[in-house]
Structure 1
Amino acid sequence: MRPHHAFWPRRLPHSITVPATSVWDNLAVSARRYPDKTALVFFGRHVSYRQLAEGVERMAACLHGLGVRTGDRVIVLMQNSPQLVLAHYAIMRANAVVVPVNPMNRADELQHYITDPEARVALTTGDLAGELAQASNALPAGYGLQHLVVTQFSDAFDPAAQGADAPPEQWRDWLGTRHPLPALAHGEVHAWEEALACTDIPPPHAVGSDDLCVLPYTSGTTGLPKGCMHTHRSIMHNAVASGLWNNSTSEQVLLGVVPMFHITGLVSMLHACIHLGATLVIMPRWERELAGRLISRYQVTSWTNIPTMVIDLMGSPNFDQYDLRSLRHIGGGGAAMPQAVAQRLLDQFGLRYIEGYGLTETAAPSHSNPPDRPKQQCLGIPFIGTDARVIDPDTLREVAQGEQGEIVIHGPEVFAGYWKCPEATAAAFIEIDGKRFFRSGDLGRVDEEGYFFITDRLKRMINASGFKVWPAEVEALMFRHPAIQEACVIAARDSYRGETVKAVVVLRPSHRDRVGAQDILAWCREHMANYKAPRQVVFADALPKSGSGKVMWRVLQEREAQALKE
């Protein structure tokens, strides 16, 4: 028996039987149970479970007509919206696999998400369609997209909406503009309304719990992002378990603001909500005044977030006007919640901030704090059905309580492996006591009560406002700049983001008097997702290297840490 079992919520089993059905089936069941209940709210427009399920059936039929078959990978490139929800479930209904892609990626980055999963069909929004088409058009014939289905935000709401449901003024052009459809060099572009008007019969639903469900991508210490193979079983486990853990019922109202292209928003929020038959109030991205209004208006009961959102909302000059008394659950991960803010939530609202921990490879939570006994700035205890340990990364033996080591995870939520990367998959797992454990790459310790704490990273990674930035990926993109001879990316402290991206650059001799830091920063913003793009650039004559010629990034990182102390 592990120490944390003494503090396990008494109402919960230590493990659950995972439904043998597909994730799509959760929507079908909720639509039969609650046909007229509101499933989604988007700027005042309500979508019932019946309407959502009917739209999914029509879109699934359309995708089948476009050639999508069992096991095919289909891209979804969207911000949070009702269309994103419908797209995910339609792809699953069509027996295919969802490839969720971060909409902040630029054309140079998007090519990999087309070629690696061999995607031939994508669904996106008008504001992003041009970027995706540009990425596809730059690929040789036969490697790009064959079909692009494009929706406009205004397909899902009235841009003229007023009052508490109105979009922020600064979003009106973004959300209200109906963008012209781009040209696809070797394929066809389809308007969303036309796709939804499909009257064909969708194919029989033939996939189950052991079939591939979603292929989210994660980066690493080397190379391009890798697809994490999640079956319907691993996603279903955490969707069901998240609802149980958070005391959720069908009467929950969730604020859907964490990105649903990210594993936490996708599983712990969207899929958990649909499984419960609850209501999801959708925000396309974060804006504190809108969040305050929506929580108040719809009496939101559950809010999954990243700590910077809570800090921002509490800093609003209008904060006292918002009614947060309906909230029963608030929590998240990605970064530690400052203790002072967590204490204010407890003192002012009686809310305990529930921190958790997970990775793309673990379908979001592998650890979470018990809602009735959380610890602050703590990962929590191993999640339902999960065995997590701390091992010596060199000897691979479990370390003593309180000692630092690598966190390893075994459980039904752990992914099957990396897409088309057998060597990376083999390196990511070890066997302990006859069980297959995933090596997280994070260093941590366990206290005397079995709660886990993160202490450092074994992998090279930057955590900027909860977004994981992998330096090797940023460096690979920066090397495309004609002036850059070498670049090394490290983490720098940031009062708001926690960490931010800093690049140490060696310029080619021919460009040393012609290119400045602002030029590099502007180029990076143009060619990579905003959260990845360096916020700081410094120039150096040379980078520190080992005897084998390898860049010693740790030296630069240690210099950065030392400079903060001086």
Structure 2
Amino acid sequence: MNLSVQLHETASNFPDKMAYHFLGQQTSYGELDAAVSKFAGGLESLGIKKGDHVALLLGNSPYFVIGLYGALRAGATVIPINPIYTPDEIGYILNNGDVKVVITLDLLVPLFEKMHAGLSKVEYVIECATPQQTEGQDRTKLSIYPKLKSFTEIVASGSASFEGPELDEEDVGVILYTSGTTGKPKGAMLTQRNLYSNAKDVADYLKITNDDRVITALPMFHVFCLTVALNAPLMSGGTLLIVPRFSPKDIFHLAKTYKATVFAGVPTMYNFLYQYPEGNPEDLQSLRLCISGGSSMPVALLKNFEKKFNVLVSEGYGLSEASPVTCFNPLDRPRKPGSIGTNIIHVENKVVNELGEEVPVGEVGELIVKGPNVMKGYYKMPEETAATIKDGWLYTGDLAKMDEEGYFYIVDRKKDMILVGGYNVYPREVEEVLYAHPEVSEAAVVGVPDPNFGEAVHAFIVRKNSQLSVKELTEYCKEHLAKYKIPSHIEFLEELPKNTTGKILRRALKDVVLNKN
């Protein structure tokens, strides 16, 4: 079994059931499944074969859902990419990921017109019209880009009876690029089995059924949304209430209008909902469950949110390399604020010491994970794969502890990783950009508390030229980094603290910021 086959079975059982709602339009499972088959057939007509790589450079929309499942049904491997990445970041992933077809918004087509000389492996760009585009306007005829096709054209060229090739459970279905400590993203290969098992186990654990209406506000290109708020509901016959971009006003409206039953978000979203002046508790009264992940939710926020809106918030834990979910607070036992919960179905978590030996209850060690959800490895990175997966166990790099009832607690996140609004920012990646500036001698980046986004990026710089300004350096970063990775604070120092071997001490720098506050 895989996601594509499961969608077809769900559509066969509930052809007239609403699969998703988007901007006032409703689409049934029968219509969705037909569109998926047509798009898959259209990809095949372009020469896409089993195992070829297709990138999704899209926000939350039906295009993403159809593009994802259509590519999977065609036997392709899907690479979701954040559409707000810079050209440098997008270009690296497309080239490293050996992408043949890119599915993207028409607004980004000019970007590919400029980049196409450096994207020799990309054979086609499939553009998706934004809702604001004039009815009937065909941008493919306006573009000078020779590889451009329209999404509607590809769907129209396919057949609703297209079935696609046979897929093995070990075939790679999705490659998720995550920033590595080397500064270059690593592609976590998730197999058909990884994706299907985690979506099914999450659906079973959270009791998601065809009666559920799930608010899909998290970015679809992020693995949290991909599994919890997209794949799990669709395989259960539930309905997606797709939100193009997060807005407290839209969330309250959707929840009230369509009697939403499940909301999934990162702590930043809960904070904005809680602080929204016009947030009416009655608008959320249909919710049976709120799911939080991406980073730890402050216990005070969790309790305040639950008290104000009278709804349960269940925190969980996951990472891209595990498809992603490994833990959730159970629904049939007490929820423990501050905990990431217990093992989900078929997944085992364990806390170990540096020798890989399990530590006693209550002691801190590294969290490792085992189960059908653990990735196949990093794309074209055998050494990194071997260092991360040992004897079938995925070493997360996160420090954790377990209590006597089997509840896990994250003590500290991956060393030095910064979480801005639920997005991972690795200091080294930002530092690489800063070091490339001709007037920067040294650079160090740390995460500091931020009331709106959980954490913010704070950079410490030693200048070669005292004329270098914060404004100039910020503008430079905007050219090379996605918006959420750009330092919100830049501080100039005469020198950076180092240990006896010359290593820059990020912890000491972070303490300086915290002590100021």
Structure 1 CA distance, aligned partners of 2:46 and 2:504? 47
Structure 2 CA distance, aligned partners of 1:356 and 1:292? 23
Deviations 1:157-183 (A, max 9, x none): xx6xxxxxxxxxxxxx9x999895585
Q: Against the structure 1 CA distance between its residues 266 and 234, is the aligned structure 2 distance closer, same or farther, given a 3 Å change threshold?
A: same
Structure 1 CA distance, aligned partners of 2:281 and 2:367? 43
Superposed counterparts of 1:353-372, under 5 Å: 353-372=313-332
Structure 2 CA distance, aligned partners of 1:176 and 1:221? 46
Give, in angstroms, the shift of residue 447 of structure 1: 1.4
- Partner of residue 463 from structure 1, selected from 405, 412, 419: 419
Structure 2 CA distance, aligned partners of 1:75 and 1:271? 18
Contact 2:349 2:369 in 1 (8 A): yes
Structure 2 CA distance, aligned partners of 1:184 and 1:504? 43
The answer for the alignment partner of 2:512 in structure 1 is 559
1:77 aligns with 2:57: yes
1:100 aligns with 2:92: no
The answer for the alignment partner of 1:507 in structure 2 is 463
The answer for the alignment partner of 2:179 in structure 1 is 219
Give the SS at the match of 2:89. Answer: helix
The answer for the alignment partner of 1:198 in structure 2 is 157
Structure 2 CA distance, aligned partners of 1:60 and 1:77? 17
Superposed counterparts of 1:167-316, under 5 Å: 180=139, 187-199=146-158, 202=162, 204-316=164-276
1:380 aligns with 2:354: no
Residue identity in the other structure for 2:337: Q
The answer for the alignment partner of 1:8 in structure 2 is none
Give the SS at the match of 1:207. Answer: coil
The answer for the alignment partner of 2:364 in structure 1 is 404
Give, in angstroms, the shift of residue 266 of structure 1: 0.3
The answer for the alignment partner of 2:123 in structure 1 is 146
The answer for the alignment partner of 1:166 in structure 2 is none
The answer for the alignment partner of 2:45 in structure 1 is 65
Contact 1:386 1:412 in 2 (8 A): yes
Give, in angstroms, the shift of residue 192 of structure 1: 1.8
Deviations 1:340-380 (A, max 9, x none): 33324443444221000000011121011002321112111
Give the SS at the match of 2:111. Answer: helix
Give the SS at the match of 1:197. Answer: helix
Give, in angstroms, the shift of residue 529 of structure 1: 1.1
Q: Against the structure 1 CA distance between its residues 176 and 269, is the aligned structure 2 distance closer, same or farther, given a 3 Å change threshold?
A: farther
Structure 1 CA distance, aligned partners of 2:62 and 2:5? 18
Structure 1 unaligned segments of length 5 or more: list them.
Answer: 1-20, 160-172
Give the SS at the match of 2:272. Answer: helix
Contact 2:266 2:292 in 1 (8 A): yes
Residue identity in the other structure for 2:79: V
Structure 2 CA distance, aligned partners of 1:281 and 1:554? 42
The answer for the alignment partner of 1:451 in structure 2 is 407
1:36 aligns with 2:13: no
Structure 1 CA distance, aligned partners of 2:42 and 2:437? 41
Q: Against the structure 1 CA distance between its residues 338 and 551, is the aligned structure 2 distance closer, same or farther, given a 3 Å change threshold?
A: closer
Contact 2:268 2:421 in 1 (8 A): yes
Structure 2 CA distance, aligned partners of 1:388 and 1:457? 16
- Partner of residue 439 from structure 2, selected from 467, 471, 483: 483
Give, in angstroms, the shift of residue 336 of structure 1: 2.4
Give, in angstroms, the shift of residue 389 of structure 1: 1.1
TM-score (norm 1): 0.86
Structure 1 CA distance, aligned partners of 2:338 and 2:245? 25
Give, in angstroms, the shift of residue 26 of structure 1: 1.5
The answer for the alignment partner of 1:162 in structure 2 is none
Contact 2:189 2:377 in 1 (8 A): yes
Contact 1:492 1:501 in 2 (8 A): yes
Give, in angstroms, the shift of residue 47 of structure 1: 1.1
Give, in angstroms, the shift of residue 458 of structure 1: 4.5
Deviations 1:235-294 (A, max 9, x none): 111111111111221111010101110001001111111101111010011111011101
Deviations 1:62-86 (A, max 9, x none): 2112221111111001111011000
Contact 1:111 1:136 in 2 (8 A): no
Structure 2 CA distance, aligned partners of 1:111 and 1:192? 21
Q: Against the structure 1 CA distance between its residues 179 and 216, is the aligned structure 2 distance closer, same or farther, given a 3 Å change threshold?
A: farther
Q: Against the structure 1 CA distance between its residues 403 and 423, is the aligned structure 2 distance closer, same or farther, given a 3 Å change threshold?
A: same
Structure 1 CA distance, aligned partners of 2:323 and 2:441? 38
Structure 2 CA distance, aligned partners of 1:240 and 1:25? 13
1:527 aligns with 2:490: no
Most deviating of 73-82 and 145-154: 145-154
Contact 2:252 2:280 in 1 (8 A): no
The answer for the alignment partner of 1:168 in structure 2 is none
Structure 1 CA distance, aligned partners of 2:312 and 2:216? 20
Structure 2 CA distance, aligned partners of 1:555 and 1:135? 41
Give, in angstroms, the shift of residue 557 of structure 1: 2.8
The answer for the alignment partner of 1:331 in structure 2 is 291
Contact 2:263 2:287 in 1 (8 A): yes
Residue identity in the other structure for 1:475: E
Q: Against the structure 1 CA distance between its residues 298 and 103, is the aligned structure 2 distance closer, same or farther, given a 3 Å change threshold?
A: same
How many residues are matched?
A: 514
Structure 2 unaligned segments of length 5 or more: list them.
Answer: none
Structure 2 CA distance, aligned partners of 1:552 and 1:184? 50
Give the SS at the match of 2:487. Answer: coil
Structure 1 CA distance, aligned partners of 2:487 and 2:112? 23
Most deviating of 551-560 and 466-475: 551-560
Give, in angstroms, the shift of residue 127 of structure 1: 2.4
1:25 aligns with 2:9: no
- Superposed CA RMSD in Å reads 2.3
The answer for the alignment partner of 2:28 in structure 1 is 48
Give, in angstroms, the shift of residue 549 of structure 1: 4.6
Deviations 1:531-558 (A, max 9, x none): 1111111122333445555433333234
Structure 1 CA distance, aligned partners of 2:237 and 2:2? 16
Q: Against the structure 1 CA distance between its residues 246 and 176, is the aligned structure 2 distance closer, same or farther, given a 3 Å change threshold?
A: farther
The answer for the alignment partner of 1:518 in structure 2 is 471
Structure 2 CA distance, aligned partners of 1:482 and 1:133? 29
Q: Against the structure 1 CA distance between its residues 346 and 490, is the aligned structure 2 distance closer, same or farther, given a 3 Å change threshold?
A: closer
Q: Against the structure 1 CA distance between its residues 476 and 328, is the aligned structure 2 distance closer, same or farther, given a 3 Å change threshold?
A: same
Structure 2 CA distance, aligned partners of 1:264 and 1:457? 17
Structure 1 CA distance, aligned partners of 2:403 and 2:137? 54
Give, in angstroms, the shift of residue 137 of structure 1: 3.4
Structure 1 CA distance, aligned partners of 2:355 and 2:27? 54
Q: Against the structure 1 CA distance between its residues 179 and 330, is the aligned structure 2 distance closer, same or farther, given a 3 Å change threshold?
A: farther
Contact 1:136 1:184 in 2 (8 A): no
Give, in angstroms, the shift of residue 452 of structure 1: 0.6
Give, in angstroms, the shift of residue 132 of structure 1: 4.4
